[in-house]
Chain A
Amino acid sequence: MRVLLVMPTPFENGRLGLENVVWLSEPVALTSVGSAIEDRHEVRVLDLRLEDEDALVRTLSTWKPDVVGTTSMTTDAYQAKAVLRTAKNVCPGVLTLVGGHHPTLCPDEFDFDYVDVIVQGEGEHTLREIMERWSRQREADDRTFDGVKGTRWRDASGVRRVNAKREQTASLDDLPIPNRRLIEKYQGRYFFTAFRPMASIFTSRGCSFDCNFCAIWEFYERRTRFLSAKKIVDQMEACAEPFVFVLDDNFLTNKRRVVELCDEMERRGLKKYWMTQGRTDFAADNPELVARLAKNGLVMLLSGFESNDDDNLAALRKKSSWQKNLRANEILRENGVISTGIFMVRPDWTKEQFAGLYEYVNSLDIGIPLFTILTPLPGTQLYRAYKDKLLTNDHRLFDLLHAVLPTRLPREEFYAEFCRAYDATEKSVRNAYKWFFKARPTFIPKNITSIVWFYARTWRYQRIHGDHRSFLRDEEGLLNGPGAKAGLTWEDVAYPKGDEHVAARADEDAPARAGGKLVKLRIPRRIWADDVAEASAGAGE
């Protein structure tokens, strides 16, 4: 059978957003599930972020797939639905599937007649089973998928049936390696800032922390699984690109595996530059490991610094501190690793708090500071706490660049403060590059064209991003819409009071209480959407 896997665009092309400006990573979710079925089926991946508007319909009408699948994060939920709706229109007999983060955590949002099956959780084994069933049932147009774990499907009367949850694969080594040939036609077009051309791989899944603004740990049920060092280096070696982005949710989480990976890289003499995401506290606590990783090609680490304020970090359940951020950054700088720091401003911030954050960033010399707005993403604890206080339910505005909660400053002033971030932290970037040049003198000359390419691109984008009116226009007509309460002000929202650091300390001092009761309550039997009410009630938030 012919299977078309479609990566949707996050927004309509040209809207405000950092994807395709600051980064564009490979659709690894699609190449992973595609690899799981390509031994028996013909698989194509269509990355709509790198295609013309009509590419989907032309592919559907000429290639005539039997199955169309797509994936969705929160912001591209509408686009994913548009893909499947279009697929049903053009090829009425097609089987449509959606999987990924948002459908797993909020499956009800995909309950439409043009969505045949919603895949929840890891998709590799589930898709394989769906394909086996559909191969047998297609002739009779029998779309029942009872018993296929990890799916929701519509029966003939249109009722959505829910199957049992699929257990996570015990070892990532058992999963097929994503076949990058499926995206051969796009190779050379993926990038992270000036690191291009770039390949993307994953080496672990999950995160064992429970930050309340993130749903990764809920998606993976707080488990982290790792690929073996050998498989990681195999994948890196197979990439033709000079840069590899390791897309792990938290690469720096297990000391032993990092040591094993360094051993393997050294043994095989890997010559690749690579980038990844990891926590600052790990880097701060393991300077010798960071040095070793840098020697083995790590050139950029993307970390959630989040805040310059320990109370704020505690309110986010980040379990780190501004001192750790500072120390981690020093270690990265000394080892020639560009630090990409993500900072989160809060909607209840005053001008002084914005200024304080920018001053802090400048004191760090962060190479690539990225600024976001605290957003209760569906599926997170924060969402469950704040869902009644949202100004909008338009998922396009849940892109971390729009305040979906009421702001303390008038919105115009809030966005004016937010969008001066890049100008205000220029000093940090300049200094970081000086440090980087000192540590890796040949890197910048060797990659000068890519650096020029990136700055040309972002300079044009900054004309939009640096203008607060862009943000206001973006949300015009979309606030206080259906499902949102009208007339909310920042005072209606129980923002953190500023004593969270002390409270968190008290919790740490009482390990039995925190470790026993809270963890048990926060990890319900089944966390996904149908248990949200239960989970929410259990967590007491």
Chain B
Amino acid sequence: MMGDLASVEKREAPAPPASDTAAPAGASAPGVTAAARRFLADLRVEIESHPGVNHLFLGRCATSPFARQDYRVFGENHYPLVCVFTSYLERLLIRAPTSDAKLWLAKVLVDEYGEGSEGEDHATLYGHFLRACGSSVPDRADTVKVPAPAFEFVSEHRRIVSEEPFLVGLGAVGPGHEWAIPKMFDAVIPGLRRAGFTPEEIDYFTLHVEQDVDHGAWLEEALLRFGGTDEARAQIRRGAILSLEARARFWSGVQRAVVRWRQPSAVRVDGASPRTIAREILMTAWDGSPRLRALEAGYDSLLARRRPTIRELIEQSRR
């Protein structure tokens, strides 16, 4: 890694990026790379200590003996993210302002399409894991609706890679993913092993720890070239943090789902804000009324109906 950084430092700075980026007029000036390196080091620390990467649910995966059934719920929620990840890269590839950026994105895409996993793309690999959990979701992608936490995560990332400046998108799918995933999966893998999955069944996860370390190194190289100005660095950071905030919400949603499959009518938990007596009574009255409960269930199913199926989500992503 240090060798890579050193060699980058010796190279010339990249050409100025396209107009939707804030990068780097004068990026070749001495000192810019050092500032970029400092920025990257700080950004890595910030990412690796972010709640999205260190969500307590992940810690629980590492320490609690969750069963295969729990990991089925986990996997079914996570699967849509895996299915559409390449679409973020493809969108960015089209928008990439320089050939360096295109090169980095292309390298990662090649891996995501199946290089290093005997030609099986990551969604296919994840499908093996899901089947090992006892889930048939990969075979029913035409009919299964995308779970709410996954839909929110994907929508936010689509927005980031389409509507935000290129460097914000790069920050989200670059450091926001590549630096985050090995650390997150480091927590998940011991839990999967404890639950009795074979190494082949959890290939997706182990491969990502190894592969994303490579991706992270390539990424670092790309970011050093792009993080030439304060504004560019701010955009990269913003993208990473937006992605991780979405990630933290996603893990909270997965945790809720893992608890709810065992306890569908679980007590509504308090969290940080204490509930007033009036609210407590209102909630009880609501839960006690079959009509109001039916109304709530109807509203939930209406929301679910508005979400696409996994197949539709994949197709939307290709457009």
Q: A: which residues have CB within 8 A of B?
A: 12-16, 20-21, 48, 50-58, 60-61, 78-79, 81-83, 85-86, 89-91, 188-189, 393-394, 396, 449-450, 452-453, 456-457, 459-461, 463-464, 470, 473-474, 476-478, 481-482
Contact = CB atoms under 8 A, between A and B. Distances in A.
Contacts of A450: 277
B255 A53 contact: yes
Given A12-B255, A449-B277, A58 B263 contact: no
Interface string B40-71: 00000000111101111101101111011110
Given A55-B272, A456-B280, A89 B194 contact: no
A492 B261 CA distance: 32
B57 A53 contact: yes
Contact of A456 (B59, B68, B183, B281): B281
Nearest to B249: A54
B155 to A, nearest CB: 21
B305 interface: no
Q: Which of A83, A393, A464 has the most CB of B within 10 A?
A: A464
5 contacts: A16-B262, A57-B49, A81-B63, A394-B65, A460-B283
A53 B49 contact: no
B274 interface: yes
B60 A456 contact: no
B91 interface: no
Given A12-B57, A456-B277, 4 more contacts: A82-B60, A453-B277, A460-B268, A481-B67
A13 B257 CA distance: 11
Interface in B249-276: 252, 255-256, 258-263, 265-272, 274
Interface in B226-268: 248, 252, 255-256, 258-263, 265-268
A474 B53 CA distance: 27
B246 to A, nearest CB: 13
B287 interface: yes
A188 B277 CA distance: 13
Contact of B259 (A12, A91, A463, A478): A12
Contact of B49 (A21, A91, A393, A456): A91
A58 B272 CA distance: 13
Contacts of A55: 272
A461 B69 CA distance: 24
B249 to A, nearest CB: 9
Given A12-B259, A482-B194, A460 B267 contact: yes
A20 B283 contact: no
B192 to A, nearest CB: 13
Contacts of B263: 14-16, 464, 470, 473-474
A78 B65 CA distance: 8
Given A61-B49, A453-B277, A464-B267, A83 B59 contact: yes
Nearest to A17: B267
The 5 closest A-B pairs by CB, nearest first: A477-B67, A82-B59, A14-B266, A456-B284, A57-B51
B187 interface: yes
B288 interface: yes
B277 A13 contact: no
Interface residues of B, number: 49
A456 B286 CA distance: 11
A20 B272 CA distance: 13
A78 to B, nearest CB: 4
Contacts of A21: 267
A52 B272 contact: yes
B69 A477 contact: yes
Contact of B280 (A85, A189, A453): A453
A56 B56 contact: yes
Contacts of A56: 56
A460 B267 CA distance: 6
Interface in B159-200: 183, 187, 194, 196
A89 B125 CA distance: 28
A474 B270 contact: no
Contacts of A61: 49-51
Contacts of B280: 453, 456-457
Nearest to A89: B54
Contacts of B267: 14, 21, 457, 460-461, 464
A470 B70 CA distance: 15
A13 B259 contact: yes
User: Which of B51, B57, B258, B288 neighbours the largest number of chain A CB atoms within 10 Å of its CB?
Assistant: B51
Contacts of B287: 459-460, 463
B51 A58 contact: yes
Given A16-B263, A21-B267, A464-B267, A53 B56 contact: yes
Given A51-B272, A83-B59, A461-B267, A12 B258 contact: yes
B63 A50 contact: no
B308 to A, nearest CB: 27
B259 A14 contact: yes
A52 B274 CA distance: 11
Contacts of A476: 67, 69, 262
Interface in B266-309: 266-272, 274, 277, 280-281, 283-284, 287-288
A188 B287 CA distance: 25
Nearest to A449: B277
Contact of B262 (A15, A53, A481): A15
A79 B65 CA distance: 11
A16 B48 CA distance: 33
A15 B57 CA distance: 14
A21 B265 CA distance: 14
B65 A478 contact: yes
Nearest to A48: B56
Given A57-B55, A460-B284, A79 B60 contact: yes
Most interface-central of A15, A54, A478 (chain B CB within 10 A) = A54
B265 A464 contact: yes
A369 to B, nearest CB: 20
B57 to A, nearest CB: 7
Contacts of A477: 67-70
A54 B64 CA distance: 18
A89 B55 contact: no
Contacts of B281: 452-453, 456
A55 B270 CA distance: 14
Contact of A89 (B63, B183, B277): B183
A188 B273 CA distance: 12
Given A14-B266, A453-B280, A86 B288 contact: no
Contacts of A91: 49
Contacts of A463: 265, 287
Nearest to A56: B56
